[in-house]
Amino acid sequence: MEKTAKITRTTFKNVWNNPKGGQIFYHEIELDNGDKGQIGCKDQMPEKINPGKELTYTIEVNEKGSKIKAVIPAQQNAGNWQKGGRTAPEPRVQMISFAMAYTKDLVVAGKVELKDLPTHFDILYNEMISKL
């Protein structure tokens, strides 16, 4: 269940070093509605968890304690692509990449000769576009 409350206290607890790279910084936070728990962030002290800031979140209680997870409001999330903050390409532009990749795979598999790549690309691209 989503909740919204103001942060009243934030205390840095520890850092977790991801073996694949990057770090997650864990903080203990208290909210004005009485909820408290740990929240992980990519920054050591992000502004979004400063006392006085409003936080929309979910809370999960387990044997280790309470875990708070920030919820990204729908209007903020709209337009983000794969959480990278980029806007997704127009579908026809994506189809160019897909059609070329599929055609290249046919060439590599020996099903199509390299000299025939443009013709087969056009066939695949036009078929994909017809489905939009």
Number of domains the chain is built from? 2
Higher pLDDT, 5 or 93: 5
User: What's the pLDDT tens digit per position in 71-114?
Assistant: 875 544 445 545 555 666 677 788 888 889 999 999 999 999 99
In a domain, 82, yes or no: no
CA neighbor of 7 nearest in space, from 120, 66, 116, 39: 39
pLDDT at 70 exceeding the cut of 80: yes
Q: Which domain holds residue 49?
A: 3-77
In a domain, 83, yes or no: no
73 with 97, same domain: the answer is: no
Higher pLDDT, 48 or 74: 48
What pLDDT, on the 0 to 100 scale, is given for residue 26?
92
- C-beta of residue 6 within 8 angstroms of C-beta of residue 55: yes
16 with 73, same domain: the answer is: yes
- Read off the pTM: 0.53
Token pair of 16, please?
Answer: 């977790």
What is the mean pLDDT of the segment spanning 18-28? 90
